[in-house]
Structure 1
Amino acid sequence: MKNLYFLGVMAATLLSSCSASFQVVETASSDVKTDGKEYVFNTNEVAVHYNLWDGRGNILFNIENKSNSPIYVDLDRSHLIVNGSSVDYYLEEETTTSVKSGAARGSWGTLWSDQYEVSRKAKMKKVVEVPPQSFITVGGRTIISEPLSDCGINKIKRGGIASSGTFTESDSPLTFRNYITYSNSYDLASANVVQNEFYVVRVHNMTTSTFNGKTIKEKDCPGEFSKERAELPFAKPQNIVLKMKSSSAF
């Protein structure tokens, strides 16, 4: 059965060695593909791009309209389903949203980096129009809020990392499904559904130094001073990262 459990019920578990600073949760999917740069689901009409790493435990995805006509996403009938529990993406209350603009096609770097962002307060629309050859960003719902734990990953040994065993879709401690409803007409007369399912395959607890990896020096332009950045060897679109509580106890 599922050996991992949410760490919130084990708040008093002590680490006899180094304290974990980060947890990285590896996920997999039978229908969403990745090449290391993108985690994407494609149809002839739409593409759904996921970046679980940037979500920090929350779902974050782009819905791209690849067609030459508008599509209409029904957020009131679109849901995140975690271990069978469903929440929809539409929120009744007024929220602060981010409007992003950038290239809808291209490499992972183009999709997620070449953008500008404007925040504004507004009441969320139930139906959002996506013009041809463009995308919208949807997110904000929580996949996982507390780190996972089992006896195999509670104690970090030499090397600054402790890893769980490997899980399959049938025994994964955490599964989640993205259910997106959209239509080609504003009145939603004929609805289409995209469903993407994910599950946890492995969990790693690690120290900050292991999480950061090597220090990399690079220049944006010739003649500039070198800039340093962390390697972040676990930074992949299919990985979820959680910050652990800074204490000798989890």
Structure 2
Amino acid sequence: MKTLRLSLFLLVLGLASCTPKVQVVTLHSPTVTLQDKAFVYETDSLRIQFNFQGENGVVRMNIYNKLDVPLYIDWKRSAFIKGAEKFNYWVDEAYLQGEYSRYGFATPSREPTNRLRPDWYRYDQHVFRSGSIQGIIYKDEPVAFILPKMSMDYARFMVAPGKAWLLPPSKGTVEQVDVLVSESNYKKKKDLIRYEFSEANSPLKFRNYLTLSTDTQFRTEFQIDTPFYASKVENVDGRYLFGSTYTASDLNTPTAISHLPGSYQEQNKFLLLIPVN
């Protein structure tokens, strides 16, 4: 019995060692500041709250119009700029949001189902395919407007699509942190590797460029150009952030940020998954 218990304990530890690690990226900007964990750009005309929380750093904006007149945003002349590459906020195209229904009837053959192609049904030398598409065609407006003393939310781009950056451990500083590795409050010391960057050597630099006006003809247009860069990167066991039951799916939503330790709930932070070797 003791041998069995020891084997189970070693198995749990072995599985724990395969738990996905997380890379926490902290962004800095010379024009956007932290205000009680919110990441804010503010003028006499408007207030933009940027929120990058969640996986891969989606650019989420809440734009509040402080004025007594409407505020217009020209998405055609606004862009997300990463390095030397520009991504337009508006493109002249429509998209369909809906569903496809497929149906058919025939006498099936004795062919094993695992040999059937997924996009059609095969019956004794007869192929019968039919279906219908239902949905709504959408097209984004090139200009948006915000009523006085009102706000709008907008989300479009990921600042770091894909997996975590490969950074050499020798370039970072190592801190020992307590990680809860089981629901029975068993803790284990794990490495948290921290990297600090300046704007010059940062692995990530991007800008958010908006064109706005207080009239529909844009005679009073002005631009807001907010630069960002990754100033800190931390590699750590995912259970340090999310607890012993952490899985990679915990990274997929910004609401998960509310379960993190207080120092990781700031809106200038986002998460990347470090693949298990």
Kindly indicate whether the alpha-carbon contact (under 8 Å) linking 2:242 and 2:260 is maintained by their aligned counterparts in 1.
yes
Cα deviations by residue, 1:199-227 (Å, 9 ceiling, x for unpaired):
11111122221122599xxxxxxxxxxxx
**Higher fraction of helix:** 2
Map 1:97-116 onto structure 2 (within 5 A).
Answer: none
SS of the residue corresponding to residue 195 of structure 2 reads: coil
Percent identity over the alignment? 24
**Residue of structure 1 in register with 2:81 after alignment:** 81
- Of residues 168, 189, 194, the one that matches 2:219 is 189
Bigger shift: residues 79-88 or 152-161:
152-161
**Residue of structure 2 in register with 1:235 after alignment:** 265
- Of residues 170, 175, 178, the one that matches 2:205 is 175
Q: TM-score, with normalisation over the residues of structure 1?
A: 0.69
The structure having more radius of gyration, on CA atoms, is 2
Map 1:141-220 onto structure 2 (within 5 A).
Answer: 141-146=157-162, 147-152=164-169, 159=177, 160-212=190-242
Kindly indicate whether the alpha-carbon contact (under 8 Å) linking 1:184 and 1:190 is maintained by their aligned counterparts in 2.
yes
Kindly indicate whether the alpha-carbon contact (under 8 Å) linking 2:19 and 2:238 is maintained by their aligned counterparts in 1.
no
**Residue of structure 2 in register with 1:138 after alignment:** 154
Change (3 A) 1:153 1:63: farther
Structure 1 Cα separation of the partners of residues 269 and 139 of structure 2: 31
Q: Deviation at 1:230? A: 7.0
Q: Deviation at 1:84? A: 2.5
Q: Deviation at 1:96? A: 8.2
SS of the residue corresponding to residue 67 of structure 2 reads: coil
Number of residue-to-residue matches in the alignment: 196
Structure 2 Cα separation of the partners of residues 39 and 183 of structure 1: 23
Q: Deviation at 1:192? A: 0.6
Structure 2 Cα separation of the partners of residues 195 and 27 of structure 1: 16
Kindly indicate whether the alpha-carbon contact (under 8 Å) linking 2:175 and 2:193 is maintained by their aligned counterparts in 1.
no
Structure 2 residue ranges without an equivalent (≥5): 1-16, 98-135, 178-189, 246-256
Q: TM-score, with normalisation over the residues of structure 2?
A: 0.63
Change (3 A) 1:67 1:157: closer
RMSD: 3.0
Structure 1 Cα separation of the partners of residues 81 and 56 of structure 2: 17
Structure 2 Cα separation of the partners of residues 236 and 184 of structure 1: 32
Cα deviations by residue, 1:93-152 (Å, 9 ceiling, x for unpaired):
33589xxxxxxxxxxxxxxxxxxxxxx963111000111011111221121113212112
**Residue of structure 2 in register with 1:27 after alignment:** 27
